[in-house]
Amino acid sequence: MEIEVLEGVFDANEIIAGKNRAILDGCGAFMVNVMASPGAGKTSVILKTLEGVAGGLSCAVVEGDIAGKVDSERVAETGVPAIQINTGGSCHLEARQVNTALERLDLEGVDLVLVENVGNLVCPAEFRLGEDCKVMILSVAEGHDKPLKYPLMFSESDVLLVNKIDLLPYTDFDVDGLKDTVRRMNPRVRIFEMSCRTGEGIDRWVDWLKERVEKRAEGT
């Protein structure tokens, strides 16, 4: 029956996600799946994260977009290895695409792999990539009602980064209300407030991430 096709897609993705997990386990790298809508600040957060862990963690980046290579070029300027995946129209990355990127990257000695998913608040949460951690970014410009409109993304994420808090004085964004809503959906989520423009709050996110990477390396 045709109804089995969609289930087959998810099953195939899970199998390849498991292969990605094996690759990461083999080299001891920690992989983060960074998800957000277009314009929320995914690339800016990745660049600030790379800056924050510089000198302590060796990194690589996988950039996912429908088209173009602007973001991977920005990352490459930092000296961090980057691979671009263009989906050609698909609204999310799949495990097979990330598998190709991981096979091409030299992961020897790499501690942290940051994957920038395609800008979308729906599909990316449905497809596991073999990551250790799902991170979602929400900018204050998008509004605090987004968890009610896109619940899966918020319930599936391990971390929520509330970005562009420097804009709070110019919006009616309710940070406390957002936190209450998200924590009801997802009690285990960690929430960090930050601004990539001013640098506020970046250190708290980076310190948490470094601790997670170190624990992963220690096998705890």
- The ranges assigned to domains in the chain are 4-214
Tens-digit pLDDT profile for residues 163-173:
999 999 999 99
* Residue 74 C-alpha from the chain's centroid: 17
Residues in Cβ contact with 36 at an 8 Å cutoff, skipping those fewer than 6 apart:
42, 117, 119, 121, 136, 137, 138, 139
pLDDT confidence tier of residue 1, bands split at 50, 70 and 90: very low
H helix intervals, the chain = 4-27, 42-53, 70-76, 95-104, 146-149, 151-156, 175-185, 202-218
Question: Which tens digit of pLDDT belongs to each residue from 90-142?
Answer: 788 999 999 999 999 999 999 999 999 988 898 888 899 999 999 999 999 99
Q: What is 4-214's CATH superfamily?
A: P-loop containing nucleotide triphosphate hydrolases (3.40.50.300)
The answer to whether the pTM exceeds 0.95 is no
